[in-house]
Amino acid sequence: MTETKRPREPFAPWDRRALPGLFDVEETAKRVGHYKWVELKLFEALGGWVATVPELDIKMRLGTHCYHHAWHAELFDKRLPELREMKTDRLTVPPNDHMVAFIDAMTEPEGPTLTIEKLVGVYRVLIPHKIAAYTYHRNATSEITDMPTVRILDFILQDEFNDWREGEMLIQSMIESEEEIDRAMVHQTRLEKLMLAAGGIAGPGSIGDPYVDLPEEN
């Protein structure tokens, strides 16, 4: 036997990671597939919009953010086979038709005067919902068994927060009148309703369910 100091616990006192998580392999793969689908749709839209936006600084930001979300799609794509899904396309799907309707509505604005709508859809609706779903997944999954997903989500969330902040600042700098506030709010409301119907980027339960079922009163 090797001469050592006193034996140590396998988990250091500051390491409070717990074994159980809310998602099994199958559920994790399903969610990761939805995330990948959303990231794919988002980077495609950002890339497509570059040519339609006249504001030079926003044009360049969209080009930069386009790659961030493509990279997220790539990370999720590589994770899927590790979750026993060898045909990654099979799970690269929207959670439901409402989510497809949301993406269709988000990517609808094209004209050069619709930059506010384009930015609102991404930075005030989709990205906040992504941050919510990823944070929920990151906190609810097992930090031991599913650490590869946690690590991916940590990288991605860092991008999401930065991009959300930049996007929000672009929106604030674009809005210069009450009419433009109304435009932003109307579009946001329309998209939020579609997102509500979808139940979040991974469908109902995207961020869990915080409500308690009250027992029937006697």
Partner 1 sequence: MRKIFPAEELARDPRFIRQTNEQRLGDPRGARVAGGNSGDRLAKLTPELANGPDRARALMHGIFTGEIQALEGAGRTCWDFEVGEDVPLELKLDMARQCWDEARHCEISVALAEHMGTELGEFAENGLLYEAACNPDPVLRLTGVNRALEGLAIDVFNTMKEFGNLAGDPVLEFCEDWMLADEVTHVKMGSDWLRQLTANDKERLDKALEFQKVVDRLFSFNGFRGEDDDSPIQLTRRFRELAGFSDDEIDEIADMSREARVEAAG
List interacting residues with partner 1 (CB under 8 A).
40, 43-56, 59-64, 66-71, 73-74, 77, 89, 107-110, 112
In whole angstroms, how close is the CB of 209 to partner 1 at the nearest point? 33
In whole angstroms, how close is the CB of 22 to partner 1 at the nearest point? 29
Nearer to partner 1, 56 or 214 (CB): 56
Nearer to partner 1, 27 or 55 (CB): 55
Cβ atoms < 10 Å from Cβ of 15: 10
98 near 204, Cβ under 8 Å? no
* Joined tokens for residue 182: 């109304």
In whole angstroms, how close is the CB of 212 to partner 1 at the nearest point? 42
In whole angstroms, how close is the CB of 183 to partner 1 at the nearest point? 18
Nearer to partner 1, 95 or 109 (CB): 109
Nearer to partner 1, 47 or 148 (CB): 47
> Strand locations in the chain, DSSP E?
none
In whole angstroms, how close is the CB of 51 to partner 1 at the nearest point? 4
Nearer to partner 1, 136 or 164 (CB): 164
d(CA 130, CA 111): 26
Residues whose CB is less than 8 angstroms from the CB of residue 201 and which lie 6 or more positions away in sequence, other chains included: 34, 35, 38, 95, 99, 126, 129, 130, 133, 195
- Alpha carbon of 71 to those of 64, 90, 141, 143, 192: distances in Å? 11, 20, 22, 23, 26
**DSSP code per residue over 151-200:** HHHHHHHHHHHHHHHHHHHHHHHH--SHHHHHHHHHHHHHHHHHHHHHTS
> Could you tell me the sign of the dihedral formed by the alpha carbons of 97, 142, 70, 60, in that order?
positive
In whole angstroms, how close is the CB of 92 to partner 1 at the nearest point? 8
Nearer to partner 1, 55 or 143 (CB): 55
